[in-house]
Amino acid sequence: MRDRNSNSNNSGRREFMRTGLAVAGGLALPAGFASRVLAADQPPIGTWPAGSQGDSVFIGIAVPRTGTYAVQGEDELKGYELAVEHINEGHPLIKAISPKTKKGVLGKTVKYGVADSAAKPNDAVQAQQRFITENKAILLTGSTSSAVAVALNKLAQREKVLYVAGISGSNDTTGKDCVRYGFRQNFYGETAANALGPVLLKAFGKNKKAAFMTPDYTYGHTVTKSMNDFLTKNGGWTMVTNQVSPLGAPDYSSYLTNIANSGAEFLINVNWGHDAVLSTQQAKQFGILPKMKLVIPYQIPFLAPEVGPDVTEGVYAATDFWWTLEDKYPLAKMFVEAFQKKYNYRPEWGAENAYMEFALWAEAVEHAGTFYPPDVIKSYESPRKLNSMVGEVEWRAADHQLIRPVIIVRGKKPGDMKNKEDFWEVTEIVPGAGVMQKPDAFGCNLGAYT
Amino acid sequence: MMRTQRPGRVELLTAIGLVLVPLILPYLGSAPNTVNRILVWGLFGIGFDILFGYTGLLSFGQSALYGTGGFVAAYLLTRAGFPYVWLALIIGMVAAAVVGYLVGLIALRRTGIYFAMITVAIAEVFYFVEFNPLSEWTGGENGLPGVPTPSLYLGFTTIHFTSGWSLYPFLAACYFIGIVVALRIVRSPVGAIFRAIRENPLRAAAVGHNIHAYKLAAFVIAAAYAGLAGGLLGVLQAFMPPEAFTFDTSGQLVIQTAIGGRGTLFGPLLGAAVWLFLQDFLQATLGLGAAWKLVLGLVFVLLVVFLRHGIIGGFVDLYRFVKRRKAPVEPREAAPSPGVADEQAAHAVAAKTAHAQPARRLHHAASDYTGPILQATGLTKHYGGVIANADIDFTVNAGELRGIIGPNGAGKSTFFKMLTCEVPPTSGKIVFEGRDITGMSVTDVCQLGLTKSYQVNQLFNRLTVRENVVIAALAELRGKFKLDMLGSVASIPGLDEQVSSTLALVNLTRRRDTPVSELAYGEKRRLEVGLALASSPALLLLDEPLAGMSPVERGETVKLLKSIAQGRTMIIIDHDMDALFELAERVTVLQEGRVLVEGTPDEIKRNAKVQEAYLGGVHGVIDVDEALA
Amino acid sequence: MISWSNFVSQLFNGLALGALLALISSGLTIIYGTLGVLNLAHGAMFMLGGYAGYVAYEASGSFIVAVIAGTLFLGIVGVLMERVVIRHFYSRPHEDQLLVTFGLAIVYVEGVRFIFSSLSKTVPPPPLFTGITSLGFMVYPTYRLAVVGIVAVALLALFLVLYRTRLGMIVRAGIEDSVMVDSLGINVDRVFMVVFGIGAMAAGFAGIVNAPVVSLTPDVGEAILVQTFVVVVIGGVGSFTGAVLGGLIAGEIISITSMFNPGYAYVMLFAAMTLVLLVRPQGLLGTRGRE
């Protein structure tokens, strides 16, 4: 864990200096600490009030539409689009999550713009900067890669515009790279490990040997670490090898050969997106599967259809959502129905995550009664129970992570599938509070409000 | 392509343009961040254009230097808590320049495509190193977030540059300084030599420039610009991304420079504007979604196919086209008609050359040496199994005019190449003015006072006649390497004199502002000799100076050669016996790589062995005069 | 973790990868050697071969048909590309050639993405080669072993064309000295077209043969392109045998390094290339002066 304290002190000092500045459009301000008064009396901050003065507000969305995570990015985008549609029309599902919503957010229509991030932080930052200056975006979102989420966290904090994460599995997003202006609703490495770990131990026992495949960036390293820590501490498992591969590797034969010769009994594949598809397919070609058991700590939308149910049969995975939850949660049922009607397939968890982020944001704004960012942030941080598609949830103020259950699924036998999307069976719904780390365990240091 | 403008005009226009941008562009709907990005790419591109557009070195590895400068600056400002943004940027720039020097030492050992490939490899290695081994310092795949923006403390007030239009003045100022420095560099002697290297590296070295050192200088300059631009990227985004190191970044730089126009300094800025504007336009305005890159690719291909010199080149061509339709055509040097006009022309040439003595003292290796000016012993050259020259002993005295003849394949050109040290001998020794020059470089030998004019013209084709001679004269006046990047060509003492007198010697004064590509063949040959003359050599070798000339041209050239021979030693290879026998005092005959015979022209004419060598067998002795009567 | 079976497995990996690289690189090297054009679209053409084969497979269900379709389609693409675009660039500086092929690469990749989307496509290996072969102490995917054989046959065919036919002789002469070939009255235009077509077909064939191994995405050609350059440099520009040797060496460098740390594999490859460039710039089997 790197020491972030000195850095945030510096940025705090610079925030302090910047408080006395002319921002683009330049109104001269007195230096000083902005105290919490009525929003209307506040000096401008970020894109407030400019971004919400008209009859619409703008959201900047950056998803990968090309590259390794393109498939998941498109799915995520559909979730966002459905959410915007529902918010603008005051759909019952949105009202169930955000009771004060009538039409739009505080009566304003929600508009948005989409840019291709190609899972590259640089491209995402560029696009969002444009959305901020040109469209006066009041909310930023989008990420399928945690590297993007971290970069946008920092951008949001600098520009003083709220950011809600898209898919982001790294511990760092609400850990050492957390920011006051950033929020995340989905599950992540630590919660996945703590939820999935006991299930694995129960199903397979102790003292097993595992081979890990890790993509070489923040998400991969933190998830592998969390999984490995849990399994070794609590079950005496050993990591016999950790094959670290670059994002977008075209060929896994070298890594798989090393794994085949490692004596492992389990293959824990942390690769994501197309990398997961390819590495799993090749693992099968090399005879590693089904000789070893596959475990997917952080489930990938569309993995099952792409590799085929004969590969995912019996595989344990941790995920944010699966459509069969509609049998248990009425809001999930509404969501799956609405999504299927619009897009002709049942949603994966990327779409659900996107929808939830927007719905929860709408709720936070309505609850605050204003778009003024510090007030919206405080609305997020004020303790209260919220509705979601997986039951009751609530935000944790200390690191802006939503406390929500982790869904454990297991791949179905091809013969047991009732329809062509029935890939997974939900085996457990693990409550969030028990599987999260302590708020300061990962060095989270939220920054200033202004 | 950069003519000598009224000094300061380009700089002034640039300054005005930069000031007007934030006043005009917002009304055209341009985002300040896009404009800021364009400035950063533009600055990155200035250095690259000096390297590629001016010196002709296509590097795909600039991202390595961009990233280095950026990460050093970002690291100082974030992890190390360095408070001064300006200073961090400068340190980043210097770091990049140093790394560029080291990289250049490796990469520049090869040229052309191989050089490009080494730069690709280096770029990939740097990216990898950033990601893995050095991730403690560079933040690995996350990059370094939290880079602050600069502030200017003016004593009575502080100006903070934050983002958007507020940051623009800072970036514009950096760009302006960058352009001013670059303009000085390309107008300096170093800039002229860069262009010479691009046009004809072989000749640039042969006229006495240490081209490797100049290339390295260009590489370091490009690295410095790249490093500064990288630092500015971090400031612009508040985040230093690892993408700065990718091959894509280098590729985008090359594309933008090609689109805008290479060799113009402003091309990369224009190219970046077009590229980024199209990116935004295609994605946002046209709502093309994922197809935007396809359209961009098509547009790029079309631009490359139809605009050979980029957009700026397209405008320049248009301007020239329009200008040419208005102005009368410059009269070509009329081919002189035989007869009276010929005589008059010849007199004119003779009169000119009589006055136009070389203005400078000739170059000598050792000015008080009294022995033979050149002495080669046992000179041999093997190419694999082929023996081009075998055991040649050859001595020339100072002031002599020596001719060399021989049938095809005799090894004459190879012999010359060894004398000028273009090619190392397999064995043997060459002594010039008492100094052993065996194994030296062609550049050093030229600097000592021994140089050659080529059989096939080796000129700087896209430069004017005058500029060609300037290149050669610069080597003579400045030595083989001098880093006077901020000086101007005009201020070199003695340059004008040297150039004018050389031009007068070869009768090209009237054509001095004509590009080489527009010269007639005879004029090009004269320029070829002129380039060699401009180095003021004590010993001048001429490889087939009369090749391909008409009879009239030949006569003029012979007169020219006679005039320049004054005070100099010359060795001439040619096939034109009449001309050579008229010029030379002694003639050496080579056959099959060896010296066949040596003597006065008369002796050579009557020599049976020579006749046999040329005619392949003779019965009895031919009386040449009788035969030719 | 250097066990015997790991070592042999990686050796096989290297062989499979190296054979593939050899085939693709031979296409690139004869194009560069003859035309002097460094085809930056070569990786994209590899990808196109895979997709053409995929379309044919979906239509016919036969792997053989897919391979033939992929190869022929690239033959057409190569010839068209040379006719319509490349030939106008012979007299233009090298950089322009690099730029236009670079642009075409983008067009091909994005065009495929537009038509097929980024979702990966799979072509299953032919029934004859599916499954796993047991080699005693280890198992290995049967198809990868087959790839070595298939590519070897293709390389042999290419070798026979180049060294045993009149056309091949002309092509090799063109690599040596295209001006001379022109002066001898041979239609150099047609030679160039044929060479580009052959080079493209080699890439296309490799693309479809490799499809069952890696699965197809529009970006699959990008990494291959850089590796191909390295192979051409190591083996020697314009040398077919050099491409084969270079390919095998490159494949083995990647796989042996992967035994220790796969992350460093490509860095080692580049280090090897830089070393060759500095010490023996014409490559192991190339001729001097081809820069």
Which amino acid is residue C262, in one-letter code?
Answer: P
Coil, helix or strand at residue A209 = strand
Beta-strand runs (E) in A246-366: 266-269, 293-296, 316-319
Residue ranges of C 140-199 with Cβ closer than 8 A to chain A: 140-141, 143-144
Range(s) of the domain holding residue B224: 50-245
Chain B CB contacts of C281 under 8 Å are: 110, 114
**B167 & B220 share domain:** yes
Q: Do B247 and C226 make contact, defined as CB atoms within 8 angstroms? A: yes
**B302 & B376 share domain:** no
Query: Of B128-142, B178-192, B342-356, C205-219, where does mean pLDDT reach its minimum?
Result: B342-356
Query: Per the domain annotation, does B6 fall within a domain?
Result: no
Which chains reach chain B with 3 or more Cβ–Cβ distances below 8 angstroms? A, C
**B367 & B303 share domain:** no
Query: Per the domain annotation, does C194 fall within a domain?
Result: yes
pLDDT value for A308: 87
Mutate to test the interface with A, among C2, C5, C8, C9 (most CBs of A within 10 A): C9
Q: For B91-131, give the secondary structure using H, E and C.
A: HHHHHHHHHHHHHHHHHCCCCHHHHHHHHHHHHHHHHHHHH
B94 at interface of C, judged by CB pairs closer than 8 A: no
**What does the pLDDT look like over C51-67, one tens digit per residue?**
999 999 999 988 999 99
A241 at interface of C, judged by CB pairs closer than 8 A: yes
Number of domains in chain C: 1
pTM of the model: 0.83
> What proportion of chain B, given as a percentage, has pLDDT over 70?
88
- Please tell me which residue of chain A has the smallest CA distance to C125: A285
**Which of C88, C96, C233 is the closest to B117 by Cβ?**
C233
Query: Per the domain annotation, does B586 fall within a domain?
Result: yes
pLDDT value for A260: 85
Query: Per the domain annotation, does C173 fall within a domain?
Result: yes
Q: Do A151 and B142 make contact, defined as CB atoms within 8 angstroms? A: yes
- Taking CA C94 as the corner, what is the angle to CA B62 and CA B68, rounded to the nearest 5 degrees? 5
**B516 & B444 share domain:** yes
B385 at interface of A, judged by CB pairs closer than 8 A: no
The CA distance from C205 to C46, in Å, is 8
Average pLDDT of chain B to the nearest whole number: 83
**B312 & B365 share domain:** no
How many Cβ pairs within 8 Å bridge chains A and C?
Answer: 89
Chain A CB contacts of B289 under 8 Å are: 65, 114
Beta-strand runs (E) in A175-283: 182-183, 209-215, 238-245, 266-269
Query: Per the domain annotation, does B8 fall within a domain?
Result: no
User: Please, which pLDDT band fits residue A29 given cuts at 50, 70 and 90?
Assistant: very low
The CA distance from B545 to B549, in Å, is 9
Average pLDDT of chain C to the nearest whole number: 85
pLDDT value for C246: 93
Tokens of A17: 């200096």
Mean pLDDT value across residues A428-432: 91
Query: Per the domain annotation, does C235 fall within a domain?
Result: no
> What proportion of chain B, given as a percentage, has pLDDT over 90?
30
pLDDT value for B622: 60
Number of domains in chain B: 3
Beta-carbon count within 10 A of A438 CB: 9
Range(s) of the domain holding residue C39: 22-221
pLDDT value for B571: 93
Q: Do A71 and C263 make contact, defined as CB atoms within 8 angstroms? A: no
B550 at interface of A, judged by CB pairs closer than 8 A: no
Q: Do A306 and C259 make contact, defined as CB atoms within 8 angstroms? A: no
CATH number, position B408? 3.40.50.300
pLDDT value for C270: 85
Query: Per the domain annotation, does C183 fall within a domain?
Result: yes
- Taking CA B111 as the corner, what is the angle to CA B542 and CA B229, rounded to the nearest 5 degrees? 125
Mutate to test the interface with A, among B79, B166, B239 (most CBs of A within 10 A): B239
In this structure, the dihedral spanned by the alpha carbons of residues B286, B288, B292 and B296, taken in order and rounded to 10 degrees, is: -40
The CA distance from B155 to B158, in Å, is 7
The CA distance from B614 to C174, in Å, is 34
C106 at interface of A, judged by CB pairs closer than 8 A: no
C217 at interface of A, judged by CB pairs closer than 8 A: yes
Mean pLDDT value across residues A410-433: 91
Average pLDDT of chain A to the nearest whole number: 85
ipTM of the complex, rounded to two decimals: 0.85
**For residue B495, how far is the Cα from the chain centroid?**
19
Q: Are A195 and A429 in contact (CB under 8 A)?
A: no
Chain A CB contacts of C141 under 8 Å are: 285-287
pLDDT at B86 over 80: yes
**Which of C1, C118, C138 is the closest to A262 by Cβ?**
C1
Q: Are A229 and A256 in contact (CB under 8 A)?
A: no
Prior bond of A49 cis (ω within 30°): yes
Query: Per the domain annotation, does C12 fall within a domain?
Result: no
The CA distance from B459 to B516, in Å, is 8
Beta-strand runs (E) in A18-118: 56-63, 109-116
pLDDT value for B233: 92
**B284 & B371 share domain:** no
Give alpha helix (H) positions in A164-208.
189-204
Query: Of A67-71, A134-138, A275-279, A396-400, where does mean pLDDT reach its minimum?
Result: A67-71
Query: Of A19-33, C84-98, C187-201, C215-229, where does mean pLDDT reach its minimum?
Result: A19-33
pLDDT value for B623: 64
State the DSSP string of C168-218.
HHHHHHHHH-HHHHHHTT--HHHHHHHHHHHHHHHHHHHHHHHHHHH-B-T
Tokens of C120: 């990966």
Give phi and psi for A226, each to the nearest 5.
Answer: -60, -45
User: Please, which pLDDT band fits residue B361 given cuts at 50, 70 and 90?
Assistant: low
Q: Are A431 and A390 in contact (CB under 8 A)?
A: no
Coil, helix or strand at residue B585 = coil
pLDDT at A10 over 80: no
User: Please, which pLDDT band fits residue A4 given cuts at 50, 70 and 90?
Assistant: very low
Q: Are B469 and B500 in contact (CB under 8 A)?
A: no
**B494 & B543 share domain:** yes
CA distance A203 to chain C (A): 28
Rounded alpha-carbon distances, angstroms, from residue B489 to A336, A361, B186, B348: 75, 65, 10, 31
B102 at interface of C, judged by CB pairs closer than 8 A: no
Q: Nearest Cα to A24, choosing from C180, B164, B387, B306?
A: B164
Tokens of C21: 């690289």
Top mean pLDDT of A46-50, A119-123, A359-363 is at: A359-363
Q: Do C219 and A261 make contact, defined as CB atoms within 8 angstroms? A: no
Query: Per the domain annotation, does C60 fall within a domain?
Result: yes
B322 at interface of C, judged by CB pairs closer than 8 A: no
pLDDT value for B155: 62
Mutate to test the interface with B, among A133, A152, A247, A272 (most CBs of B within 10 A): A133
Please name the residues in contact with B125: beta carbons below 8 A apart, sequence gap of 6 or more.
Answer: B64, C267, C270, C271
Strand duo A316-319 + B386-396: pairing: unpaired
A216 at interface of C, judged by CB pairs closer than 8 A: yes
Residue ranges of C 2-31 with Cβ closer than 8 A to chain A: 3, 5-6, 9-10, 13, 16-17
A254 at interface of C, judged by CB pairs closer than 8 A: yes
Query: Per the domain annotation, does C3 fall within a domain?
Result: no
Query: Per the domain annotation, does B27 fall within a domain?
Result: no
**B394 & B514 share domain:** yes
pLDDT value for B621: 58
**B270 & B240 share domain:** no
**B203 & B92 share domain:** yes
CA distance A225 to chain C (A): 19
Tokens of B158: 């502080």
Mean pLDDT value across residues C228-232: 87
Query: Per the domain annotation, does C287 fall within a domain?
Result: no
Which residue segments constitute the domains of chain A, with CATH numbers given? 42-187+328-403 (3.40.50.2300), 190-319 (3.40.50.2300)
**B85 & B116 share domain:** yes
**B203 & B99 share domain:** yes
**Which of B164, B239, B290 is the closest to A155 by Cβ?**
B239
pLDDT value for B512: 87
